[in-house]
Amino acid sequence: MVDRALLEQMKGLGVEDRLEIIGELWDSIDHSQRSVSPSVAALIDERVADAKVNPLDGRPWDQVQESLRERRSR
């Protein structure tokens, strides 16, 4: 169960700090313990294969973040 006082304290933080907390929590999860549906597994396999064939497609994470920030500020 989530500590409501802690949750309210985190909600009072700035966006960047909350995003950092989200990232830290996400990184703390042992993803090997989570199961995914066959359709999601197939999609992941397809995207991994595409990334291997086209390694230069896509953008660095910092560019993606900046793009999302720009879209949010509109």
Each residue's pLDDT tens digit in the chain (74 positions)? 899 999 999 999 999 999 999 999 999 988 888 888 999 999 999 999 999 999 888 889 999 999 999 999 88
How many domains are contained in the chain?
2
- 42 shares a domain with 19: no
- 40 shares a domain with 13: no
Domain that holds residue 65: 35-74
- 74 shares a domain with 44: yes
| Chain centroid, CA 24 distance in Å | 10
Residue 29 corresponds to which tokens in the numbers above?
């999860």
- 72 shares a domain with 58: yes
Phi and psi at residue 14, in whole multiples of 5°? Answer: -70, 165
- 74 shares a domain with 40: yes
Using a cut of 0.75, tell me whether the model's pTM lies above it.
no
